[in-house]
């Protein structure tokens, strides 16, 4: 059990570090919201802003959370300010702590909501892919449904490296196999778990503890 716990902690660490590259002045993530209370929270914003956020009770009016509880998808903070006009004072206060612009991503899975809010310029396609993959995987880490499938060890080897952030060619090099072999094993996992994207695949792998 300690090995499984350590592996889950290692995967969580990799996923959280992947968000650092998207962040200008920090990010905040809430996984598995039940009302306004998430089951897992992590923030890298400066402590002065975190203290201010708590003191002002911003959790109850935070437009990034309001967005996540009412819809899914991605929005810039400028878009959130237009969607929630009453949030103008919130964003003005955040700017006093160096948080001038950012992005919010919200997903819903298994009837639960998870939200990532990240400071910095508007995300490009690759940034959004990284953010979505990390958020889905972190969401899956918090829940432990029963294992629906059995995968072979070669397929699991590929999945372990995928969860560690490795690209196809790096996986092939590490395992000493052809690039097409890596892709074939990934397709096998996608079919077994009925996943349509690599992000969904990683999420399912973590959710069902397949590695």
pLDDT tens per residue, the chain (211 residues)?
Answer: 344 456 677 788 888 999 998 999 999 999 888 666 778 889 999 999 999 999 999 988 999 999 988 889 999 999 999 999 999 999 999 999 999 999 999 998 777 889 999 999 999 999 999 999 999 988 888 765 555 678 899 999 999 999 888 899 999 999 999 999 999 999 999 888 878 888 888 888 887 778 7
Whether 2-141 and 153-207 share one fold: the answer is no
CATH topology for 153-207? Arc Repressor Mutant, subunit A (1.10.10)
pTM across the whole model: 0.67
CA distance 128 to 87: 24
What are 132-165's pLDDT values in tens digits? 999 998 888 876 555 567 889 999 999 999 988 8
- For residue 12, the Cα-to-chain-centroid distance in whole angstroms is 10
> What does CATH list as the number for 2-141?
3.30.450.80
Radius of gyration in angstroms for the set of CA atoms belonging to the chain, rounded to a whole number = 18
CB atoms within 10 A of CB 165: 16
Residue 183 CB partners (closer than 8 Å, separation 6+): 168
Give me the helices (H) in the chain, please.
2-20, 47-55, 63-70, 77-83, 88-95, 125-141, 153-163, 168-175, 179-193, 198-207
Domain boundaries, the chain: 2-141, 153-207
């Amino acid at each position: 059990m300690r090995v499984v716990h350590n592996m889950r902690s290692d995967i969580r660490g990799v996923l959280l570090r992947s968000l650092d590259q998207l962040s200008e002045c920090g990010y905040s993530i809430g996984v598995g919201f039940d009302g306004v209370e998430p089951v897992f929270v992590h923030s890298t914003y400066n402590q002065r802003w975190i203290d201010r956020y708590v003191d002002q009770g911003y959790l109850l009016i935070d437009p990034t959370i309001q967005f996540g509880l009412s819809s899914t998808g991605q929005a810039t903070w400028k878009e959130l300010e237009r969607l929630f006009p009453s949030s103008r004072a919130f964003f003005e206060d955040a700017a006093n702590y160096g948080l001038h612009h950012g992005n919010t991503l919200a997903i819903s899975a298994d009837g639960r909501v998870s939200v990532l809010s990240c400071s910095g310029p508007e995300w490009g396609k690759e940034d959004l892919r990284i953010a979505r993959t990390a958020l889905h995987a972190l969401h899956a880490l918090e829940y432990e449904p029963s294992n629906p499938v059995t995968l072979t060890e070669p397929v699991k080897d590929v999945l372990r490296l995928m969860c560690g952030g490795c690209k196809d060619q790096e996986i092939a090099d590490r395992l000493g196999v052809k690039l097409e072999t890596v892709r074939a094993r990934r397709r096998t996992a996608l079919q077994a778990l009925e996943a349509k994207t690599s992000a969904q695949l990683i999420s399912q792998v973590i959710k069902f503890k397949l590695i």
